[in-house]
Amino acid sequence: MNLLKFDSTEKLNEAGAGIITGLIQTNRRAVLGLATGGTPVGIYGEVVASYRRGLVSFKEVTTFNLDEYVGLPEEHPESYHSYMEQHLLRHIDLPREQAHIPNGNAADLQEECRRYDALLDKAGQIDLQLLGLGHNGHIGFNEPDHALISGAHVVTLREETRQANARFFPSLADVPTQAITMGVGTILKAKMILLVVRGADKAEIVHRALTGPITTDCPASLLQTHPHLVVLLDNEAGRLFP
């Protein structure tokens, strides 16, 4: 594990974007696993800036998003389809057919999970998986449980997860109760995992995830088993680390 702390948001964003664009510069056909939420917004902004400066092209890149809400129309401003359009896809030259996001409105959600896993299998190993971290230790929408599912699946979101995401919606009642998420097994198969965590409210859970016992009660703790884990923390999130 390579853990880095940053004393400014700008430096963290630049470092995260540099890892992503550096990979694409050396492997123009890179397969990226992408995350959403507040954490990676600034990183995507720096990636877009690098593209606009002509430093990187996404024409041969393939991307797979971690998750999507169930039942939220793609055009809804809080869907992850809309998020990716707003923060990344509309600003770069990635062909849309190479950008994959689960369909949370599929008529058969189980079949959609199988379809998504088949696309991942066809693409081969993810070269870099970008992750944030939930307050309860979830990665993607893999919630704490007695067992974790390897492949894509439908998950019922825990109340604390919905409450954490309620800031993006008019009210808690508007937050979807289910999502499709990439499985932990798929995440851990990535060649490299880039975990980005910000804020004092995440300090205890990121410390537990990276130094505590490996347990499905904290899905992110399984990242300790990964051979190429890079962790980017701001000083607040990293306050419990030396």
Is residue 241 in some structural domain? no
Number of domains in the chain: 1
108 within domain boundaries: yes
User: Is 240 a member of any domain?
Assistant: no
Is 242 part of any domain? no
Task: Determine, yes or no, domain membership for 162.
Answer: yes
Q: Which of 143, 153, 165, 226 is catalytic?
A: 143
What's the CATH number where 164 sits? Answer: 3.40.50.1360
Our CA angle for 3, 212, 129, nearest 5°, is 45
pLDDT digits (tens, 9 = 90+) for 78-118: 999 999 999 999 999 999 999 999 999 999 999 999 999 99
pLDDT reported for residue 87: 98
For 36-68, how does the pLDDT look when each residue is reduced to its tens digit (9 = 90+)? 999 999 999 999 999 999 999 999 999 999 999
Domain-embedded: residue 38: yes
Residues sharing a CB contact under 8 Å with residue 210, sequence separation 6 or more, in sequence order: 1, 3, 220, 221, 223, 224, 231
Catalytic, out of 46, 67, 112, 127: 67
pLDDT value, residue 90: 98
* DSSP, res 132: -
Q: Distance between CA atoms of 133 and 39, rounded to whole angstroms?
A: 9
Q: Catalytic: which of 76, 105, 135, 136?
A: 136
Q: b/e string for 198-233 if b means 16 or more Cβ within 10 A?
A: beeebbebbbbbbeeeeebebbbbbbeebeebbbbb
Given 87, 138, 153, 226, the catalytic residue: 138
> Residue 185: which H helix or E strand, with range?
helix 184-188
Alpha carbon dihedral 164, 169, 170, 173, in 10-degree steps, equals -70
User: Which residue has tokens 């800031």?
Assistant: 167
Active site residue 121: no
Average pLDDT over residues 207-211: 98
List CB contacts of 11: < 8 A, sequence separation 6 or more: none
Radius of gyration, alpha carbons of the chain? 17
Q: What is the pLDDT of residue 165?
A: 94
For residue 85, the enclosing domain spans 2-234
Active-site residue flag, 143: yes
Q: Is residue 165 flagged as an active site residue?
A: no
- Cα separation, 196 vs 21, in Å, equals 16
Summarised one tens digit per residue, pLDDT across range 128-182 is 999 999 999 999 999 999 999 999 999 999 999 999 999 999 999 999 999 999 9
